[in-house]
Amino acid sequence: MSNILEPIWGFKTAHAKFSLRRPLDPTDDICYIVTGSLESLIKCNFNATSKTFLVIHGWTVTGMFESWVGKLVAALYKREPSANVIVVDWLSTAHNHYTVAAQNTKRVGENVAHFITWMKEATGLSLESLHLIGYSLGAHVAGFAGSHVSNKIGRITGLDPAGPDFEGENAHRRLSPDDAHFVDVLHTFSRGSLGLSIGIQQPVGHVDIYPNGGRFQPGCNLRGALEKIAKFGIF
């Protein structure tokens, strides 16, 4: 993978927005936390003593959130009613040619790390209580975020971390066990036909799970798999 550490095609920043979702309406009831704004923390009723999840989407063709995001948020609130569930919105960068989006994951990760560092300084947020969950390119964003925070965060979960442009790369160029105290990874589409692999094949966490050998799951499309994860959980 060439130049993965450098943004391309004129991207000066890969901006991310951070929306705290509400348990009763995780899709539409959104409150944005703005880095550096204590007022936004108060407005969003952020609770620094509770567990905090950051959900990070992947590459997008439509430029819109897929339905699994809201379902995963709802599932997390069901398991952790007092938690803060924040969705990282980097749609403006992810909605580009795949290569462009992939080569900007590091910059987005740095943006997320800056947000986490500010939250820690502003609220006393415990990094141990922080759990990043990233899908596809979002898993690598989570990894870059973890690697750029001065102290290790508690956990990163990678859901089918993207394979193209990341397979075979060194640990500092992708999600790796170095990025959090615990990194667990689910590989459900890493053995495609004719050499096609959407998800990364190599192990990139402390624990890597390969249902059905990591091949595409029988009777299950990719969106369906994510919706089942959101409903029943792997956490």
pLDDT at position 41: 95
Band (pLDDT 50/70/90 cuts) for residue 222 is low
DSSP β-bridge partners for residue 53: 85, 131
Vertex 22 angle, CA 16 and 23, to 5°: 130
The whole-angstrom separation of Cα 105 and Cα 138 is: 8
Res. 224: pLDDT tops 80: no
Report pTM. Answer: 0.84
How is the chain split into domains, by residue range?
Answer: 50-232
Q: For residue 9, give the nearest of 107, 88, 90, 91 by alpha carbon.
A: 107
Q: Which two tokens stand for residue 174?
A: 């992708």
Fold of 50-232: Rossmann fold (3.40.50)
124-160 confidence digits (pLDDT tens): 999 999 999 999 999 999 999 999 999 999 999 999 9
Q: 231 versus 38: which is more confidently predicted?
A: 38
